A = this chain, B = another copy of it.
Amino acid sequence: MRNSSSARSPHQAQDHIVAERKRREKISQQFIALSALIPGLKKIDKASVLGDTIQHIKQLQEQVKLLEEQSKRINAESVVYVDKSKSEDVSDTSSNNVSLPEIEARVLENKVLIRIHCEKQEGVLMNILREIDNLDLTVINSSTLHFGASKLDITIIAEMDDEFKLSVKELARKLRVGLLQLM
């Protein structure tokens, strides 16, 4: 109604205007602030800001969910737990009980550390050493520890010739190939 229920004294009307101005200003500022948080925002009209914000939030939430799942996986119980949560998934649901050997290789300058965690078996060490020899590595030190009744934990420190350096990946792969065929 033009002027029935809403009677307002002049100062009230002015207050109203000012208040509304302030409200708009606040919202406007937040739109600006929000825009700054949305990457790759080209149009800055309200609808676009809101739309892109919605998309961005969805994307972020999805990403967080994924990363957290991954994080859970890592911290989940496995037979092997490596500190720094840097772990290899060893939990093998589909695997057969005849556990395959685990082979790990590290390279430091021209030295290489090779570690094999495997089933106790006749002649394993010899085969490993032969394999290492094939790779032109010189053994500097080695240790063979018996773990329980059935497992062996072998660690070897070796030296690489300068003219024949390998990446850790290649190394582990070659060792695996060499070892698997005799198990």
Chain A positions within 8 Å of B, measured between CB atoms, are: 23, 26-27, 30-31, 33-34, 37-38, 46-47, 50-51, 53-54, 56-58, 60-61, 63-64, 67-68, 70-71, 73-74, 77-90, 100-109, 111, 113, 115, 117, 141-143, 145-148, 150-151, 153, 155, 157, 167-169, 171-173, 175-176
Contact = CB atoms under 8 A, between A and B. Distances in A.
A143 B143 contact: yes
Contacts of A147: 106, 108, 111, 113, 157
Contact of A83 (B27, B38, B61, B101): B101
Nearest to A48: B30
Contacts of A101: 83
A151 B115 CA distance: 15
Contact of A109 (B84, B106, B148, B155): B148
A148 B141 CA distance: 11
Contact of A100 (B47, B84, B90): B84
A103 B88 contact: no
Contacts of A78: 86, 168
Contact of A84 (B27, B54, B77, B79): B77
B81 A105 contact: yes
A50 B68 contact: no
Nearest to A143: B143
A162 to B, nearest CB: 15
Contacts of A169: 77, 81, 87-88, 90
Contacts of A57: 34, 37-38, 53, 56-57, 60
For the complex of A and B, list the 7 residue pairs with the smallest distance between their C-beta atoms, beginning with the closest.
A143-B143, A83-B103, A30-B50, A67-B67, A108-B148, A60-B60, A82-B88
Contact of A86 (B38, B50, B77, B85): B77
